[in-house]
Structure 1
Amino acid sequence: MSDFNYIDLFGFLAALLTTIAFLPQLYKTWQTKSADDVSLIMLILFITGLFCWIIYGIKINSFPILIANVITFIFNFSILILKITYRKNKYE
């Protein structure tokens, strides 16, 4: 019998859906060179929450939580960097 926990399938599905949900925003921000419609405070709070989820995933040894939140952290941190970069360029 396999050691695979089938409940992890739901974790992986949730991880996939919530992670890819940020790809359209990242792509749009990169394409338009603008993140004016994205709240800076929301990004900072969300990234902080993702960091907490990563720590939690490590502590409970949950691969779906860890992977999903690391990838989502990277996507949202990229949006934050683009927002800051494009805001600086806008006022030069």
Structure 2
Amino acid sequence: MEDQIIGFIAGILTTVAVLPQLIKSWKTKKVMDISPFMFVLLLGGIGLWVVYGIIKTDYPIILTNGISFLLNLSMLVIMLRYKSED
């Protein structure tokens, strides 16, 4: 049980880490200095964490990385949408 609490806390911290950049990019529509390649790599890694969590039936990994995947995918979409406007 304690390991799941640690897993949820770790997952929440890494999941919310993208929020400041996501919010700033959405508001300013400025994404010129952000690397889309880095986000593609990050999405690949996070997606594999979700698969790993499913294989291990580890709900903290599945839930937090699933949310993180969606947030980072949103950031990639924003970057692709506003890249030409910079």
TM-score range, shorter chain: over 0.9
Cα distance in 1, alignment partners of residues 72 and 34 from structure 2: 11
CA RMSD of aligned residues (A): 1.2
* Greater C-alpha radius of gyration: 1
Cα distance in 1, alignment partners of residues 61 and 33 from structure 2: 28
Count of aligned residue pairs for this structure pair: 86
List runs of 5+ in structure 2 lacking aligned partners: none
Q: TM-score, structure 1 length as denominator?
A: 0.88
Query: For 2:52, what is the secondary structure of its paired residue?
Result: helix
Runs of 4+ in 1 over 6 A off after TM superposition: none
Q: CA deviation at 1:84?
A: 0.4
Q: TM-score, structure 2 length as denominator?
A: 0.94
Residue 43 of structure 1 aligns with an amino acid whose one-letter code is F
- For residues 32-68 of structure 1, what are the alpha-carbon distances to aligned partners after superposition, in whole Å with 9 as ceiling and x for unaligned? 1121221111000000111111100100001011111
List runs of 5+ in structure 1 lacking aligned partners: none
Cα distance in 1, alignment partners of residues 71 and 59 from structure 2: 18
Greater share of helix: 2
Quote the sequence identity (%).
Answer: 38
User: Residues 47-62 of structure 1: matches in 2 within 5 Å?
Assistant: 47-62=43-58
Residue 26 of structure 2 aligns with an amino acid whose one-letter code is W
